[in-house]
């Protein structure tokens, strides 16, 4: 089965800085990888999808990279704002379904 690792420790950064979150996986390289945002007591909200043959994907202040050699995806939020504070989950697609990571909590301080 797929194992996904996201840093369980919260990431604390200052407003305006770039936040970088990591998603590492073992075993099978997924054809697709997604990033979601989840606020407390709420369902995840889709942010970005990246394919295995794409190195980088951008959307406004968000950037995702996908390195199948390192078995890693990085998620960047530039010019971070307190409203970006949330838990960010990565999800990998293998065997006809998505496997989610536990997420990393991001705290952006004003």
Partner 1 sequence: DTEVTQTPKHLVMGMTNKKSLKCEQHMGHRAMYWYKQKAKKPPELMFVYSYEKLSINESVPSRFSPECPNSSLLNLHLHALQPEDSALYLCASSQDKLATDTQYFGPGTRLTVL
Sites of contact with partner 1 (CB under 8 A): 4, 8, 31-32, 34, 41-46, 49, 89, 93, 96-103
Instruction: Tell which residue, 91, 101, 99, 104, has the closest CA to residue 47.
Output: 91
Minimum distance from CB of 93 to partner 1 (Å)?
4
Minimum distance from CB of 110 to partner 1 (Å)?
25
- Closer Cβ to partner 1, 83 or 97, answer by number: 97
Backbone dihedral angles phi then psi of residue 41, each to the nearest 5 degrees: 70, 15
């Amino acid at each position: 089965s797929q194992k996904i690792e996201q840093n369980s420790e919260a990431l604390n950064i200052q407003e305006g800085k770039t936040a970088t979150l990591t998603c590492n996986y073992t075993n099978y390289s997924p054809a697709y990888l997604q990033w979601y945002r989840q606020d407390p007591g709420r369902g995840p909200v889709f942010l970005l999808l990246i394919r295995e043959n794409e190195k980088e994907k951008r959307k406004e202040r968000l950037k995702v990279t996908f390195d199948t050699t390192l078995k890693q995806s990085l998620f960047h939020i530039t010019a971070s704002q307190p409203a970006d504070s949330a838990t960010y989950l990565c999800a990998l697609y293998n065997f006809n379904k998505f496997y989610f990571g536990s997420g990393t909590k991001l705290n952006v301080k004003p």
